[in-house]
């Protein structure tokens, strides 16, 4: 009888251990079981495939690896357009760019984001309903909780010499997600104590109008012209420049750079080159 009792107690204890352990893990990491530690080879993937990673100070590299693990486990990655599967390398690199924007911040930016759709190359967007021909894209961000990316375009970030300095399609689309967190994309993300809405509106609007004026006058300008489309595109374009052309943006548009430093709690012009 005593032996039976001990056996029952032991079984109950094991069940409790498993259930409580799983609860703690799920609460901490999101909806699926995850590796407890960042796999060692992920650092090698980021060093090789994400040029920006090597510019980060060591402590931010470590923080990024932890955040990449959380992102990969929390979000769904879907292969599209004939892609066999979204490989581990693809997931780690895409998560790397998403989580660069999240570094140094306690508030989670991507609560609404559920899935990342990955195409092997450019993808067509059906514009038939507005009478336009299919448009080829390398990235999109949907307010319904998805980001769409061309893997070829992500792989080329920082490597394509024909591209204007300061471009990064992954950062562009994840910046839209931040903008779309609680509303439609309008270039006005949720701000915290670092920047007032009044300052944000004033500085972004004046820089946006500068860009529009420069384009209208046929003048050379320092930002991707796509940013002149509307306030949402401007926010994504200046976020790209903030991370990919930090020193240039700080020199040319110090007021805008300062506002972005306080918003992203980061000063990327101080990182390595
Ligand atoms: Zn955009």
Domain boundaries, the chain: 1-33, 75-86+102-270
Enter the DSSP assignment of 119.
E
Mean pLDDT check: name the lowest of 25-34, 66-75, 192-201. 25-34
- Contact at 8 Å (CB) between 134 and 124? yes
Read off the pLDDT of each residue in 256-269 and give the average, rounded to a whole number.
96
- Over residues 214-235, the pLDDT tens digits come to 999 999 888 999 999 999 999 9
User: Residue 127: pLDDT band by 50, 70, 90 thresholds?
Assistant: low
Architecture of domain 75-86+102-270: 3-Layer(aba) Sandwich (3.40)
Query: Given this model, what pLDDT does residue 5 score?
Result: 77
Entry field: residues in the chain: 273
The rounded Å distance from CA 41 to ligand 1 centre is: 32
Query: Given this model, what pLDDT does residue 189 score?
Result: 92
Read off the pLDDT of each residue in 197-219 and give the average, rounded to a whole number.
95
The rounded Å distance from CA 171 to ligand 1 centre is: 10
The rounded Å distance from CA 139 to ligand 1 centre is: 8
Mean pLDDT check: name the lowest of 18-32, 98-112, 244-258. 18-32
Query: Given this model, what pLDDT does residue 59 score?
Result: 96
Residue 135 β-bridge partners = 125
The rounded Å distance from CA 15 to ligand 1 centre is: 49
Q: Which residues surround ligand 1, an ion (CB under 5 A)?
A: 233, 236
The CA distances from residue 150 to 60, 97, 137, 271, in Å, are: 26, 14, 8, 27
Handedness of CA 233, 74, 56, 199 (dihedral sign): positive
The rounded Å distance from CA 6 to ligand 1 centre is: 63
Q: Is the pLDDT of residue 26 over 80?
A: no
- Per cent of the chain over pLDDT 70 is 86
91 vs 130: which has the higher pLDDT: 91
User: Residue 192: pLDDT band by 50, 70, 90 thresholds?
Assistant: confident
Handedness of CA 93, 95, 100, 103 (dihedral sign): negative
Tokens read off for 30: 């999101």
**pTM for the full model?**
0.84
Q: Is the pLDDT of residue 25 over 60?
A: no
The rounded Å distance from CA 72 to ligand 1 centre is: 23
């Amino acid at each position: 009888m005593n032996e039976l009792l001990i056996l029952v107690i032991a079984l109950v204890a094991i069940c409790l251990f498993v259930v409580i352990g799983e609860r703690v893990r799920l609460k901490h990491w999101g909806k699926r079981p995850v590796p407890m530690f960042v796999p060692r080879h992920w650092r090698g993937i980021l060093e090789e495939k994400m040029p920006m990673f090597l510019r980060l100070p060591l402590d931010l590299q470590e923080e990024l690896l932890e955040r990449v693990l959380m992102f990969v486990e929390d979000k769904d990655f879907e292969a599209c357009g004939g892609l066999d599967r979204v490989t581990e390398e693809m997931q780690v690199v895409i998560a790397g760019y998403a989580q660069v924007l999240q570094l140094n911040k306690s508030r989670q930016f991507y609560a609404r984001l559920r899935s990342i759709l990955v195409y092997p190359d450019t993808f067509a967007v059906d514009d038939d309903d507005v009478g336009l021909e299919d448009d080829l894209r390398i990235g999109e961000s949907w307010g319904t909780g998805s980001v769409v990316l061309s893997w070829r375009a992500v792989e080329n970030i920082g490597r394509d010499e024909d591209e204007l300095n300061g471009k990064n399609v992954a950062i562009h689309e994840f910046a839209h997600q931040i903008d779309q967190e609680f509303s439609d994309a309008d270039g006005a993300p949720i701000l915290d104590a670092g920047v007032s809405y009044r300052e944000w509106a004033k500085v972004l609007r004046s820089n946006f109008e500068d860009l529009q004026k420069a384009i209208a006058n046929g003048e050379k300008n320092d930002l991707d012209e796509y940013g002149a489309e509307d306030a949402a595109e401007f926010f994504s374009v200046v976020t790209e420049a903030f991370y990919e052309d930090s020193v240039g943006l700080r020199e040319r548009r110090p007021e805008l750079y300062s506002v972005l430093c306080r918003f992203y709690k980061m000063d990327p012009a101080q990182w390595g080159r």
